[in-house]
Amino acid sequence: MRAACLALVLAVTTAPILADKAWADDDCMITLAATPHNAPKFEDYPAGPAWHGTPVAPRLVTRDEKLFRTQLRTQAQEKPDFAGHYRIALWGCGAACVDWGMVDSQSGRVVMGDRFGDIDAMKVNEDQRLIYRLNSRLLVILGAPNEKPEREGMTYVLWTGHGFRQLAFYPTAKVCRNVP
């Protein structure tokens, strides 16, 4: 009985250490430095001219938009930073997770990340979860959209004016670099 209890205690107390060790053996970061040479490029998907007016308050219509109203309203007050006249808003959704939406600074229309939201960014530097530019309609997602491990890597999506269309996906195995 005593041996069985000791075995149970050892199993429970060493399991987290073993789990951490397994993750540590897989230490790598998804980084732009690992971008495949044939990946879509920002300059290939230009946006219209940058808009410099006063941003319009977001029009919150859906349940999700209303749920994240504070982040959307606060970040929409800043100047556009994507596709000419949109502002990307980011907020946390748990440990190493980021969710996002965007606000049209001209009209107040809100578009949520949906299919490409809730990004598990465990293997991504904090400032590189979403990569985008004011003068381009291309958005690059580093991590696992919708927290799905099979989607972890680098995902390239194009803003069409009505939604996002996936252009390319490179799995973690192809874009992950070992951390020194």
The pLDDT of residue 178? 63
The pLDDT of residue 179? 56
Q: pLDDT tens digits, residue range 5-63? A: 444 444 444 444 334 333 333 678 888 888 889 999 999 999 999 999 999 999 999 99
The pLDDT of residue 41? 97
Q: pTM of the prediction?
A: 0.81
Q: pLDDT tens digits, residue range 98-115? A: 999 999 999 999 999 888
Q: Are 86 and 36 in contact (CB under 8 A)?
A: no
Backbone angles phi, psi at 170, to 5 degrees: -125, 115
Which of 71 and 94 is assigned the larger pLDDT?
Answer: 71
Q: Are 122 and 132 in contact (CB under 8 A)?
A: no
Q: Are 123 and 152 in contact (CB under 8 A)?
A: yes
Residue of 106, 39, 107, 51 lying closest to 84 (CA atoms): 51
